Amino acid sequence: MDYHTGLATVTAVVIAATACFVARRLAARRPLWPKVKQPRAYKQRVAPRQKNGKYQLNSLDDFTPVGEKELVHDVPAFFTGPGTEFSVYSVDWVQESVVLIRPVDGTDLKKHPFFREAQRRNAAEVLLIPIEQLQTVVDVISDRIAHVQEVFVYNTTRCGSTLLARAVQATSVAQAVSEPQALDSIYHRLIMSRRRCVDLQSGLIPAILQNDDTIVALLRNVVSLLNYYLVTSDRRHRSVIFYKLQGRAVLVADLMHRAFPAAKTVFLYRDGMQTYESWVRVMVKHQIAYKALRLAVRSGLGRWAPGLPDNFTFFGDDPMFSKVRHRGSYLHYVVTRWICAMQCAAELQRENPGYFFHTVIYYTALARDEEKTIRLMMKELGIELKEDDWEEERKRIKSVFVKDSQAGTFLSPRTSAPGEKWSSYTSSPWTGEWEREYHSHVCREAGNEAVSPDFLLPNTMI
Alpha-carbon distances, residue 268 vs 171, 275, 290, 363, 448 (angstroms): 19, 12, 27, 7, 19
The residue length of the chain stands at 462
* Measured distance CA(272)–CA(321) in Å, rounded: 17
The answer for residues whose C-beta is within 8 angstroms of residue 256's C-beta and 6 or more apart is: 152, 219, 249, 263
User: What's the distance, CA 329 to chain centroid?
Assistant: 23
b/e per residue 108-145 (b: at least 16 CB within 10 A):
ebbebbbbbbbbbebbbbbbbbbbebbeebbebbeeeb
The answer for residues whose C-beta is within 8 angstroms of residue 381's C-beta and 6 or more apart is: 151, 264, 266, 358, 359
**pLDDT value, residue 27:** 46
User: What's the distance, CA 354 to chain centroid?
Assistant: 26
* Measured distance CA(419)–CA(451) in Å, rounded: 38
**pLDDT value, residue 276:** 96
User: What's the distance, CA 2 to chain centroid?
Assistant: 67
Alpha-carbon distances, residue 218 vs 210, 223, 373 (angstroms): 12, 9, 34
* Measured distance CA(438)–CA(238) in Å, rounded: 46
**pLDDT value, residue 87:** 98
User: What's the distance, CA 300 to chain centroid?
Assistant: 32
Helix (H) or strand (E) holding 6: helix 3-29
* Measured distance CA(171)–CA(373) in Å, rounded: 13
**pLDDT value, residue 390:** 82
Helix boundaries (H) for 202-358: 212-233, 253-259, 272-284, 287-298, 310-316, 330-351
Q: Tell me the three state secondary structure of residue 69.
A: strand
The answer for residues whose C-beta is within 8 angstroms of residue 11's C-beta and 6 or more apart is: none
**pLDDT value, residue 207:** 86
* Measured distance CA(284)–CA(51) in Å, rounded: 20
Judging by DSSP bridges, how do beta strands 240-244 and 97-103 pair with one another?
Answer: unpaired
**pLDDT value, residue 301:** 80
Instruction: For residue 411, report the phi and psi dihedrals to the nearest 5 degrees.
Output: -85, 0
The answer for residues whose C-beta is within 8 angstroms of residue 342's C-beta and 6 or more apart is: 156, 269, 272, 448, 449, 450, 455, 457
DSSP letter at 319? Answer: G
Residues of the chain with pLDDT under 50: 23, 26-28
The answer, as to whether pTM is greater than 0.85, is yes
User: Crossing angle for the helix pair 115-122 and 181-194, nearest 10 degrees?
Assistant: 120
Cis amide linkage into residue 357, ω under 30° from 0? yes
CB count within 10 Å of CB 55 equals: 13
Check: CB of residue 386 under 8 Å from CB of residue 393.
yes
User: Crossing angle for the helix pair 287-298 and 330-351, nearest 10 degrees?
Assistant: 90
Question: What is the per-residue pLDDT across 301-342, written as a single tens digit (0 to 9) for each?
Answer: 877 777 777 767 889 988 899 999 999 998 999 999 999 999
The answer for residues whose C-beta is within 8 angstroms of residue 19's C-beta and 6 or more apart is: none
Question: How is the chain split among helix, strand and coil, in percent rounded to 5?
Answer: 50, 15, 35
Judging by DSSP bridges, how do beta strands 42-48 and 63-71 pair with one another?
Answer: antiparallel
Alpha-carbon distances, residue 360 vs 120, 155, 331, 381 (angstroms): 32, 10, 27, 11
CB count within 10 Å of CB 419 equals: 9
